[in-house]
Structure 1
Amino acid sequence: MNAVDILLDARRTNKPIADLPADLRPETVEEAYFIQDKLSWAYEAIGGWKVGASSADDTPMFAPMPAAWISCSGCEMRGRTHRYRGLEAEIAFQIGEDLPPRKTPYTREEVLAAVASCHPAIEVLETAFVDPMQIERLCMIADLQIHGGFVYGEAVPDWQRIDFSQEHVTMAVDGAVRVERTGSNTSGDLLRLLPFLANEGAARTGGLKRGDWITTGSWTGYTLASAGSVADVRFSTAGKVHLRFGAEGSALPD
């Protein structure tokens, strides 16, 4: 088996692996992205992209989000493939017009003008690995950057007026606040991620398309939930979003 088959099998059967075999581990970001893209094909249509950076100076990393894993606030995440149940509070954008690849880079202003709406969001983390925090970073990137779902809240009016450096967020699980932070997106200026994806990411994305969701990295680190847990995220200006995990053993959706 190759790395793609191993990761896909572990996710689909809910039988996580400790790590990829040493001879199948990606050695470069390009190799990790190659595995990532082939893995995403198994889930058919792409509904958008997750993008983020670990600091204000780091080059962003990005991964495809399968359309089948995208839901609106209030949904129940059912199925045996929800095992890890990681949660991250995020700010997401929906693209309102196509931004096809072109020789002249899009300006920040052009990309932001193409944004149709801004939303509070929760990224659900799932993984082929028993503990993704204990493996090499490139292996984690190859595993769809441990993406497992995306839930969006209602659009935020006048989002351009939000000072994201001052935005406050809380993450609660089962009514208990787990994380509370201000201006905590690790990318620094999260809006820089959108022109990066439109320009530097275009070779992989094929250009951003009308309707694509772009979620821009965690504000809260990751928080682990359990079967049956309810998660609530509240931003001070950017709204709220929540989800529920189905009870252990709940049926897979049709």
Structure 2
Amino acid sequence: MAENFTPESVEAAAERLLAARNGGPRIIDLPPALRPSDWKTAYAVQDALISRLGPVVGWKVGAADPQAEPFRAALTGQTVSLSPASVAHAGHAVLGVEAETVYRFDKALPPREKPYTEDEVLAAVGSVHAAIELVDTHFAAWGAATRLSQIADQFNHAHLIVGSGREAGAIVDAENQPVKLLINGEVVIDRRGGNAAGPAARLIAWLANGGATSLGGLKEGTYVTTGSWTGITFVAPRSHVEVAFEGIGTAVVDIGE
């Protein structure tokens, strides 16, 4: 963590992020003195924010491409729901939808000195599910804050809706898996593959071996979503959203007023 970023700075930054969620003014970015300048600082602020939001029940993890360093955000119970779900548009600056695949862990992977292998990680997965992540910003405008400030603020997470899934076969073909996104019954995306992060096993292993360790690792029952297959599609109030992953399952959310 940057030398000039003290534990008091971490707490102050978390409080500024929390204020916008509690109805306070939205800011373009964190003030320079409270703005993370490296990943370690951004995660420290995120952890402090999460401690104010509630117990961790899930994670989002992604990467720009299959070789890039992954990034993560912890998710709390207030923004994780089972499909079918309803989420109000009011109170959000924007609402974007992404089709994602979620892994539910039937076995905990606590922090340990010896790194978990990808095979060990996959063996801890009990099921894989179709899911929808809703994305938003708590800053004054979408994309206005620096990337590290966005990471500190759960990287634009608004809500995760976990749909139906399968228990056999945790491996999903990142290049050939068919996926559809429908809005109000109209197919807006129909493709094979599309998750820029690549195979999920690498991402989850990174999470188990470092990304999640500051908050106790991956607990039994945890949901881990591994990035968008469809990019972001922004939706208006009164939208019915459905995603379908062939051979895996479906997830549905109704966006209210």
Q: One fold, TM greater than 0.5?
A: yes
In structure 2, C-alpha distance between the alignment counterparts of 1:8 and 1:230, rounded to whole Å: 29
> Which segment is superposed worse, 144-153 or 167-176?
167-176
Q: Distance in 1 between matches of 2:226 and 2:55?
A: 20
2:253 equivalent in structure 1:
243
In structure 2, the residue matched to 1:251 is none
* RMSD over equivalenced CA pairs, Å: 1.9
Match for residue 196 of structure 1? 206
Shift of 1:162: 4.3
* Selected match of 1:138 from 148, 165, 168: 148
Q: C-alpha offsets along residues 94-147 of structure 1, whole Å, 9 cap, x if unaligned?
A: 100111111111111111111011100111112211333233111111111111
Question: What is the match of residue 164 of structure 2?
Answer: 154
Q: Name the stretch that deviates more: 62-71 or 3-12.
A: 3-12
Q: Following the alignment from structure 1 to structure 2, what is the Cα–Cα distance between the partners of residues 235 and 124?
A: 17
**1:34-183 to 2 correspondence within 5 Å?**
34-78=44-88, 80-160=90-170, 162-183=172-193
Shift in Å at residue 77 of structure 1?
A: 0.9
Which residue, 13, 27, 50 being the options, matches 2:23?
13
Task: Provide the secondary structure at the position in 2 that maps to 1:134.
Answer: coil
User: CA, structure 1 residues 202+152, in 2 after alignment: closer, same or farther (shift >3 Å)?
Assistant: closer
1:79: Cα distance to partner?
Answer: 7.1
Residue range with higher mean Cα deviation, 77-86 or 98-107: 77-86
Out of 243, 248, 251, the residue aligned to residue 233 of structure 1 is 243
CA offsets per residue over residues 59-83 of structure 1, 9 Å max, x none? 1100100112111111111374334
Q: Which runs of 5+ in 1 are unaligned?
A: 248-254
What is the CA–CA distance in structure 1 between the aligned matches of 2:91 and 2:39, rounded to whole Å? Answer: 26
Which amino acid is 2:58 matched to? G
2: CA distance between counterparts of 1:47 and 1:119?
Answer: 15
Query: What's the secondary structure of 1:129's corresponding residue?
Result: coil
Q: Residue 20 of structure 1: SS of its match in structure 2?
A: coil
Residues 145 and 161 of structure 1: CA distance in aligned 2, closer, same or farther (over 3 Å):
closer
Q: Which of these residues, 39, 52, 57, is aligned with residue 29 of structure 1? A: 39
| Larger deviation, residues 110-119 vs 198-207 | 198-207
Q: Which amino acid aligns with 2:147?
A: R
| Unpaired stretches in structure 2, ≥5 consecutive residues | 1-10
* Equivalent residue letter for 1:7: L
- TM-aligned CA distance change 1:245 to 1:14, over 3 Å: farther
For 2:83, the aligned partner's letter is S
| TM-score, L = length of structure 2 | 0.89
